[in-house]
Structure 1
């Protein structure tokens, strides 16, 4: 009898630990910790995602309700799963979702994102899913979706800002630099990096769009040659004009000389005097006689 009693106790303990293990396993599987590597899992199915930080008091107050939500979602017939993002460990995800306040809750349904802005108790969270109240909330537009290209760039900027903040903290706490000293180092580094990037950009532009200096030089030489040839052409034109004027002058002189010779008394060449008949009267002869007078 003692052995039978001992076996029953062992079976009870085994069953108890099995149930505890199953509940812990379901709770862990429901509370999925998201990071930069596995966050795309929420693009399929229905999820409730919480963004939190360990130093946030409101996030700490939400933790019990979130654990209960995960447990009830696992026991219910809903296909709902819960996930959580620690923004201190995954700053890129906070940039993708444009999280500006903590805690922030998103409802995700087959890749469609909606921010939950209702009460943060378990009943309100469950009714938001069971009664499909998420249909009344406006979905995040496509250009602002976490899986878009522009939000990927924003995520990288958030990562860079977090890295710079870590460096700033290290310079002050580890090396004992004052705040202005850390800012001075960042300013010098920014100027130096900007100069390098500007030089690289200029080189790339020159490589893609080379300057047309040779073409401009050829054009300038051609213009210079044409400018030099213009005076010669003008001189030739002037000489032609002078020759034409001289010829015109000589012709005018010839014509004027011939006119003066014809108008004067002295005959020239084959020019003969004209003969005129004038009537004359003689006192002795009563009749009029026509004589030719030269």
Structure 2
């Protein structure tokens, strides 16, 4: 994962060798064609070309580029990652210091990387980037936000003296590899996708703004309907509903058997009503006879009371 300085220089060894050979060939031809007294100036020029050739080739940067495809490389080893945007003035001021710090990456055994949030919105959501530039330190999958001075010397001391141990790591449930942050990354990518197609509809296809909004509104409704149907289908497969069996149609035999108890109940009710109607006159007659007997007794008692008073 780390690239040595000799290996980085090896990529430009072949072009330098070709330049030097060409310079010697040209110098030899010039020496043959020029007078003996004028050899000093071409030789001096060739020496400058020969030794100045390494500086004519651009040196490859030691800073690695992290994208949505290779960000999981950060989970292994030790890393320092910068999140920046090309339009950010503070990010532009940090770039020389960051490049200088990256040259010490091999000696410090740390990988130095950067992320362009304008090109990688998913990583911006995954790492919750709310300010630019933002620097993270990662050691074997544990992420810590760097909040110290942003100079090469401070970066080197932060790694060499292991100052990162005094910083509380990011919680695992909000870490870049968690389900929550993966969902956040997908949301950021979706927003960038919508923005890209919105600009395409307006600028390339010439649709009005309300036309683009209408397209996205219809797409949202359609996707919601499809998602709802899929959820219903999955729920029905996982938890099927219990279907009630329809009751069989009763046969004539069952109807006759069920009607017989009803007839018996009706006959018993009629018999009870007749008994009640017969008991009512009897009770009335008994009341009348009792009343007559009481009247006769009162009449028989009254004459005896009268004879007692006369005596």
Which TM-score applies when normalising by structure 1? 0.66
Deviations 1:246-294 (A, max 9, x none): 89999xxxxxxxxxxxxxxxxxxxxxxxxxxxxxxxxxxxxxxxxxxxx
Number of equivalenced pairs: 237
Give the one of 59, 63, 67 matched to 1:31.
63
In the TM superposition, what is the alpha-carbon distance from 1:186 to its structure 2 partner?
Answer: 1.3
1:130 equivalent in structure 2? 160
Task: Give the distance between the partners of 2:246 and 2:104, measured in 1 at CA.
Answer: 81
Deviations 1:183-222 (A, max 9, x none): 2221122112212222332233334434434x1634x979
Report the structure, 1 or 2, having the larger strand content. 1
Tell me the residue number matched to 1:60: 92
TM-score (normalizing by structure 2): 0.63
Out of 195, 198, 204, the residue aligned to residue 225 of structure 2 is: 195
In structure 1, the partner of 2:246 is 217
Corresponding residue number in structure 2 for 1:283: none
Residue of structure 1 in register with 2:172 after alignment: 142
Matched residue SS, 2:177: coil
1:82 aligns with 2:112: yes
If each structure's helix is expressed as a fraction of its own residues, which one has the higher value? Answer: 2
1:152 matches 2:207: no
Partners of 1:235 and 1:182 lie apart in 2 by 77
Question: RMSD across aligned C-alpha pairs, in angstroms?
Answer: 3.9
1:49–1:14 CA distance, 2 compared to 1 (3 A): farther
What is the CA–CA distance in structure 1 between the aligned matches of 2:52 and 2:179, rounded to whole Å? 49
Structure 1's unaligned 5+ residue stretches are: 251-294
Cα separation, 2, equivalents of 1:125 and 1:231? 98
Q: Work out the CA distance in 2 between the residues paired with 1:228 and 1:137.
A: 89
Counterparts in 2 of 1:149 and 1:169: CA distance versus 1, 3 Å: same
Please identify the structure whose Cα radius of gyration is greater.
1
Gaps of 5+ in 2: 1-26, 29-39, 279-311
Shift of 1:12: 9.0
